[in-house]
Chain A
Amino acid sequence: MPVRVKVPSVLRTHTGGEGQVDGDGTTVREVLEDLETRYPGIRARLVTGDGALHRFVNVYVNDEDVRYLGSLETEVGDGDVVSILPAVAGG
């Protein structure tokens, strides 16, 4: 399923500066794996060695936090927007 992925500033070094990229998959995990094939290194910024989301990164499908859906197994459909939200501290 084609989805749009919003990439925060802190991860745009992986996407050549792009703030929004196309992704593909039926779950959030598959979308992140798809991104990794084109933007190597991005997955490790989001997912721990054990395969769970880092606690200082949130992922949303549309406006819902995937932690309250199915975590990385949350299903995504055509046209969904996957947003990555890392903790930032600047002020």
Chain B
Amino acid sequence: MSFSEDEVRRYARHIILPGIGGDGQRRLKEARVLVIGAGGLGSPAAMYLAAAGVGTIGLVDFDQVELSNLQRQLLHDTDDVGRPKVESAGDRLNDLNPNVNVIPHRVLLSSENAFEVLEPYDVVVDGTDNFPVRYLVNDACQMLGKPLVYGSIYQWEGQASVFLPGQETPCYRCLFPEPPPPGTVPSCAEGGVFGVLPGIIGSIQAVEAIKLVLDVGETLAGSLVLYDAMRNEFTSVKLRWDPDCPVCGKHPTVTELIDYEAFCGLAPGQAPPEAERTPSAGA
């Protein structure tokens, strides 16, 4: 795969950078990365991946842009309110870098379509906003053998990690074996989220996705980075592979994809706002 003169100029700072170089830049161009959720985390993640020259970026999101998204979701403009997020995000990414092939997936991920959507990609970036899709994506990546770059935010705090397929390295279920019951965990729509926070965590996800593509450095596999914006504190804790993990343990009990009840943090019977009624990606 060769580069045009414009591409060489565009990526000049990467091409001279130890750790990337011409070969690394070619790997980026050949790479296919799927970003699940064109929201708070997906915005910086997808924008940095596009700017970096990742050749193919898939975007999964079923939602339309809402005014309340714009406080943190930099993929979308004020004029985009009402448009499908994958469309406005695609425009933004191609404005940033017309060399990127953006593939929109305007679907609700479920056990029916997850394998089909994820299969063509090398690396998956999880920027969803709900537990059912997080577990679905984790399980699908383990079963398909794909590396998953995890990020999650709430109020002033975020977390990020990398879950590699197979035994010996932890996955999301090693960390949290099952989703919390409905009503026990509030969603961002209920608890609020600091607008800059996904900028930090989503950028960490872009870093990790690029390192996985390049096969350089040390990834976050086996550790979980925690960021507290209010206390300006980065900490990191060890994640261990759990031999009893239901999906990547020695005797898996989760052997097919599960559609957990879509609760978005609210107890059954409580009416969520319109935009939260379906398990969608990236609010």
A residues in contact (CB < 8 Å) with B: 8-10, 19-20, 54-56, 58, 60, 63-65, 68, 83, 85-91
Contact = CB atoms under 8 A, between A and B. Distances in A.
Given A9-B155, A55-B176, A65-B237, A90 B131 contact: no
Given A89-B152, A89-B187, A58 B238 contact: no
Contacts of B178: 55-56
Contact of A10 (B42, B177, B186, B281): B186
A89 B37 CA distance: 12
B120 interface: no
B86 to A, nearest CB: 15
Interface in B119-167: 126-131, 134, 151-157, 159
B24 interface: no
B40 interface: yes
B265 A89 contact: yes
A3 to B, nearest CB: 15
Nearest to B41: A91
A9 B186 CA distance: 11
B249 interface: no
Given A19-B231, A90-B40, A91-B41, A65 B238 contact: yes
Contacts of A9: 154-157, 191
Given A10-B186, A55-B176, A58-B175, A91 B237 contact: no
A25 to B, nearest CB: 20
A88 B154 contact: yes
Interface of B: 37, 39-42, 126-131, 134, 151-157, 159, 175-180, 184-188, 191, 193, 198, 224, 226, 228, 230-231, 235-240, 265, 281-283
B238 A90 contact: no
B155 A19 contact: no
Contacts of B128: 89, 91
A89 B130 contact: yes
Nearest to B37: A91
A89 B134 contact: yes
26 contacts: A8-B154, A9-B157, A9-B191, A10-B155, A54-B180, A55-B176, A56-B185, A58-B176, A65-B238, A65-B240, A83-B226, A86-B180, A86-B185, A87-B176, A89-B131, A89-B152, A89-B154, A89-B185, A89-B265, A90-B129, A90-B152, A91-B42, A91-B129, A91-B151, A91-B198, A91-B281
A71 B42 CA distance: 35
B37 to A, nearest CB: 5
Contact of A90 (B154, B235, B236): B154
B237 A60 contact: yes
Nearest to A9: B155
Contact of A63 (B42, B236, B282): B236
Given A88-B154, A89-B129, 15 more contacts: A9-B156, A9-B191, A10-B185, A19-B228, A19-B231, A55-B177, A56-B184, A58-B176, A85-B224, A85-B237, A86-B185, A87-B179, A88-B153, A91-B151, A91-B153
B180 A10 contact: no
A85 B156 contact: no
Contact of A56 (B176, B231, B235): B176
